[in-house]
Amino acid sequence: MKTIDELVDEGVGGKRVFVRADLNVPLSGTTITDDGRIRAVVPTIAKLAEAGAKVIVASHLGRPKGAPDPQFSLAPIAARLGELLGTQVAFATDTVGESARATVDSLTDGSVALLENLRFNPGETSKDDAERGAFADQLAALAELYVGDGFGAVHRKHASVYDLPARLPHAAGLLIATEVAVLRKLTDEVSRPYAVVLGGAKVSDKLGVIDHLLERADRILIGGGMVYTFLKAQGHEVGNSLLQEDQIPAVTEYLERAKAKGVEFVLPVDVVAAPSFPDLKNPVDTNPLVVGVDAIPADVLGLDIGPESRKLFASKLADAATVFWNGPMGVFEHPDYAEGTRAIAQALIDSPLPPAGGPPAFTVVGGGDSAAAVRILGFDENAFGHISTGGGASLEYLEGKTLPGLAALED
């Protein structure tokens, strides 16, 4: 996989370089509520601009239905990107149309433009190779070189991620190079003990990664909404908590495999529950109830791991040399149910030297809601070894899958 450093050494001055970024950030109206993914791609864009390239940035945002939709416009992102780069970013109001061509034609050496949402064109996400390829041809006509740096999208076989690199000389951006190096440290070059913390809503979203990590991890800690399927599989009643009954056989099999392989499965011993799901837009006190996992009332649902579970989980992370965390422990957006997620983040920061006086633990926050939670709860991002920009991409890599966007960047 060629790196951006090699590309720059070969000379990018005066050349049009297409950068596929992942600027899929959360918005409240036109206000960006978490700009982490924008900040993550700035070093690549800045490096190209400083080398004199004409930089064409492109990304998706949300899930528009293959047609323009104002609520998914990248216009607010163009403004924020310009602030972070310290320069004006030209904005094209379409992807491959008249505005895109005119905007690209107006670029000077070292300047930057952002195209409108790639998913406003149906060819971007089409499952038809010809339709996707035709859109990739139009994108390729805008540029001379391609840099893939949208790690959060590399697990998608989309035109700008998979088909476009085949049409232009290509290289991996700084972010993708970093993400791949981190994931190798979680799969091929692991320092032990290796602990994995998994949360989030649905156990079905994590089956593949659990299956793969059973062959690699020393401990797997489970929280979030997905934990209630595990608790049910152990014979506990879970009240009105989120439950995927059809996944109980798979969960039972994983618990048995873990025991046979000597992999420690750690589940909560208590949870924070309430009669109903909280209103996240009006976070008033909901009178949460702390109960043991063997005493969850029938008329409540679990919304976070409890105080004793927080202590337990922290103790299981204290001597880890490597920690991968993906998925919040509860409804962290509400203050009554944020403490479990806060405790995991703090445990990663507090990880002492592992046995035998080795280096500090290598801690990875696996993107998605986990990364958002770290920022929303006010933690210093530099206190973690790495915060990924791609939750789904990270999980699929850890499952052992081939990611189309990475395969496309191979020489």
Per-residue pLDDT reduced to its tens digit, 162-172: 999 999 999 99
Instruction: Extract the annotated binding site.
Output: 22-24, 37, 60-63, 119, 156, 206, 302, 333, 367-370
Mean pLDDT across 39-50: 97
* Same domain as 209, residue 144: no
Mean pLDDT across 244-255: 96
* Same domain as 271, residue 210: yes
Q: Choose between 44 and 355: higher pLDDT.
A: 44
- Neighbouring residues of 411: CB distance < 8 A, sequence distance ≥ 6: 1, 2
* Same domain as 211, residue 146: no
Mean pLDDT across 217-231: 96
- The domain that holds 161 is classified in CATH as 3.40.50.1260
Question: Quick check: is 228 in a domain?
Answer: yes
Helix H or strand E encompassing 75? helix 75-85
Task: Please calculate the CA angle 296-298-301 and round it to the nearest 5 degrees.
Answer: 65
Please give the Cα distance from 157 to 394 (Å, whole number).
15
Provide the pLDDT for residue 305: 98
* Same domain as 268, residue 121: no
Its domain, for residue 101, covers: 4-177
pLDDT of 352 higher than 80: no
Please give the Cα distance from 313 to 330 (Å, whole number).
14
Provide the pLDDT for residue 68: 96
Provide the pLDDT for residue 353: 53
* Same domain as 119, residue 32: yes
Helix axes 36-50, 75-85, angle to 10 degrees: 60
* Same domain as 223, residue 151: no
* Same domain as 340, residue 258: yes
Please give the Cα distance from 192 to 32 (Å, whole number).
38
Cα dist. 7→112, 115, 303 in Å?
18, 22, 48
Least confident interval from 151-160, 202-211, 254-263, 340-349: 202-211
pLDDT of 342 higher than 60: yes
Provide the pLDDT for residue 160: 98
Confidence of residue 116 (pLDDT cuts 50, 70, 90): very high
Enzyme catalytic residues: 37, 202, 368, 392
Q: Choose between 382 and 303: higher pLDDT.
A: 303
Please give the Cα distance from 377 to 28 (Å, whole number).
18
Confidence of residue 356 (pLDDT cuts 50, 70, 90): low
Confidence of residue 368 (pLDDT cuts 50, 70, 90): confident
Confidence of residue 311 (pLDDT cuts 50, 70, 90): very high
Pairing of strands 289-292, 362-365: unpaired
* Same domain as 253, residue 326: yes
Instruction: Extract the annotated binding site for ATP.
Output: 206, 302, 333, 367-370
* Same domain as 209, residue 104: no
Q: Percent of the chain, pLDDT > 90?
A: 81
pLDDT of 221 higher than 70: yes
pLDDT of 351 higher than 80: no
pLDDT of 196 higher than 70: yes
Provide the pLDDT for residue 281: 81
Least confident interval from 202-206, 350-354, 406-410: 350-354
Helix H or strand E encompassing 301? strand 301-305
Least confident interval from 51-55, 205-209, 222-226, 263-267: 205-209
Helix axes 339-350, 368-376, angle to 10 degrees: 90
* Same domain as 166, residue 294: no
Mean pLDDT across 346-360: 71
Instruction: Extract the annotated binding site for (2R)-3-phosphoglycerate.
Output: 37, 119, 156
Instruction: Extract the annotated binding site for substrate.
Output: 22-24, 37, 60-63, 119, 156
Q: Domain count of the chain?
A: 2
Mean pLDDT across 61-72: 95
Question: Quick check: is 183 in a domain?
Answer: no
pLDDT of 357 higher than 80: no
Mean pLDDT across 59-72: 96
Question: Quick check: is 393 in a domain?
Answer: no
pLDDT of 8 higher than 80: yes
Per the prediction, the chain carries an average pLDDT of 94
Q: Percent of the chain, pLDDT > 70?
A: 98
* Same domain as 208, residue 166: no
* Same domain as 172, residue 195: no
Q: What is the DSSP letter of 360?
A: P
Mean pLDDT across 352-359: 57
Please give the Cα distance from 187 to 212 (Å, whole number).
10
Mean pLDDT across 127-139: 98
Provide the pLDDT for residue 359: 65
Q: Hey, what are 395's tokens?
A: 């999980």
Question: Quick check: is 12 in a domain?
Answer: yes
Mean pLDDT across 119-146: 98
Residue ending a domain, among 131, 151, 177, is 177
